[in-house]
Amino acid sequence: MKYVIPAALAIGVGLVTLFSYFLPNVEELMSIRLILTNWAAVLAGLAILIGIFNLVLTHFRRIQGKVRGSIYSMVTVVAAVGTVMVGAVESLRSGAPVLYEDGSLIHTLFIGIIATSQAALASLVMFFLVVGAARMLKTKPGGWTLLFLSVVVVTLVGWIPLNFMGFLNGFRDWIVSVPALAGARGILLGIALGTVAVGLRVLVGAERPYKD
């Protein structure tokens, strides 16, 4: 019985949100959905704050314990706390979030450090592909191995901006825009179907994540 109320709330919120998309002319449903989505945004923000607090607390304990590599924990704590403080102070001064305003310090930090670090991490995929191809060559190469290696070589070499490599550049564009994009869309479709399946299980009460 202690899970009846959470189940009823979860199913009710899900049904109201779902029906509001199929009945956009019903203003009452739209108003309720707006309230619920705002609550969800507030809860998501609180979850992020709790995650930041847990991150800082974990690394602070590593610093106190003088664990090996605690200098990196110190840098993490200073960076996390400093970024939050800078964003909070600038937002309070202007009366609105300034993350996407050019010239603000938090925007400069986001573009110059966070976005750049994400791009650097994404570029490591190239090295993983090269290492994976090299390891595959150590074993007995098969058809799929040769295909994978060929695609990696063509894709990497095709980025070289040389005039006599026009055909190879065009082939690289075709690989990126057709097979790779088709695979990415297939993954997104699988994620969407999985999300729909989990949502339906929650609506019918078969899936109860709030029990954990």
Domain coordinates in residue numbering, the chain: 1-94, 140-212
> What integer best gives the mean pLDDT of the chain?
81
CA angle 102, 105, 106 (to 5 degrees): 90
* Alpha-carbon gap, residue 102 to 184, rounded angstroms: 32
Three-class secondary structure of residue 148 per DSSP: helix
pLDDT at 162 exceeding the cut of 90: no
Q: How confident is the model at residue 210 (pLDDT cuts 50, 70, 90)?
A: low
The answer to whether 158 and 171 are in contact (CB under 8 A) is yes
* Alpha-carbon gap, residue 131 to 154, rounded angstroms: 16
**Does residue 96 or residue 74 have the better pLDDT?**
74
Which helix (H) or strand (E) segment holds residue 89: the answer is helix 70-94
Cut 0.85: pTM above it: no
Cβ-Cβ contacts under 8 Å for 154 (sequence gap 6 or more):
168, 171, 172, 175
Q: Which two tokens stand for residue 30?
A: 């739209």
Three-class secondary structure of residue 95 per DSSP: coil
pLDDT at 156 exceeding the cut of 80: no
pLDDT at 164 exceeding the cut of 70: no
Long-range own/partner contacts, residues 151-155 (CB < 8 A, 24 or more apart):
151/175
* pLDDT for 191: 92
Cβ-Cβ contacts under 8 Å for 15 (sequence gap 6 or more):
203
Average pLDDT over residues 139-162: 75
* pLDDT for 94: 81
* pLDDT for 188: 92
* pLDDT for 129: 75
* pLDDT for 209: 67
pLDDT at 194 exceeding the cut of 70: yes
* pLDDT for 190: 93
Over residues 29-74, the pLDDT tens digits come to: 888 888 888 888 898 889 988 998 898 888 888 888 877 878 888 8
Name residue 55's amino acid.
Answer: L
Provide the b/e sequence for 69-107 (b: ≥16 CB within 10 Å): ebeebeebbeeeeebeebbeebeeeeeeebeeeeebebb
**Does residue 154 or residue 77 have the better pLDDT?**
77
Length of the chain: 212
* pLDDT for 2: 67
* pLDDT for 212: 58
